[in-house]
Amino acid sequence: MMNMKSLLREMLEIYSPSGKEEKLVDFLQPVMEGLGYHTRRDKTGNLIGRTGRGNTKVLLLGHLDTVEGKIPVRESAGNIYGRGAVDAKSPLAAFIGAGSQFAGSSKVEVTVVGVVEEETSSKGAHAARDVLSPDYVVVGEPSSWNGITLGYRGSIQLSYSHSVSKTHRGEGTPLPAEEAVSFFHLLRKNFGSGPTGFNSNDVRLTDITTEKEPFRDSVDMILDIRTSNDFDREKLREFIKNHRGQASVETTRGIPPVRSSKRSRLVSALIGGIREVGGKPSFKLKTGTADMNILAESWEVPIVAYGPGDSSLDHTPDEHLELEELSRAREVLAKALRRLEESGGS
Partnered with residue 227 across adjacent β-strands are 154
**137: DSSP letter:** E
Q: Note whether 50 and 40 are within 8 A (CB).
A: no
Q: Note whether 41 and 29 are within 8 A (CB).
A: yes
Catalytic pick among 21, 65, 87, 119: 65
Q: How far is the C-alpha of 250 from the C-alpha of 260, rounded, in Å? A: 30
At 150 the three-state DSSP class reads: strand
Q: How far is the C-alpha of 48 from the C-alpha of 125, rounded, in Å? A: 12
Catalytic pick among 118, 119, 135, 322: 118
Q: Hey, what long-range contacts does 199-207 have (CB within 8 A, 24 or more apart)?
A: 199/228, 199/229, 199/230, 200/228, 200/287, 201/225, 201/226, 201/227, 201/228, 201/231, 202/153, 202/226, 202/287
Q: Is 65 labeled as catalytic in the residue annotation?
A: yes
Task: List the one residue out of 98, 90, 118, 113 whose CA is nearest residue 7.
Answer: 90
* Bridge-based pairing state of the strands 154-165 and 248-251: antiparallel
- The string of DSSP codes covering 99-134 is HGGGTT-SSEEEEEEEES-TTTT-HHHHHHHHH---
Q: Is 42 labeled as catalytic in the residue annotation?
A: no
Q: How far is the C-alpha of 111 from the C-alpha of 136, rounded, in Å? A: 10
Partnered with residue 223 across adjacent β-strands are 158, 205
Q: Note whether 151 and 257 are within 8 A (CB).
A: yes
Q: How far is CA 200 from the centre of its chain?
A: 19
Catalogue the active-site residues. 65, 118
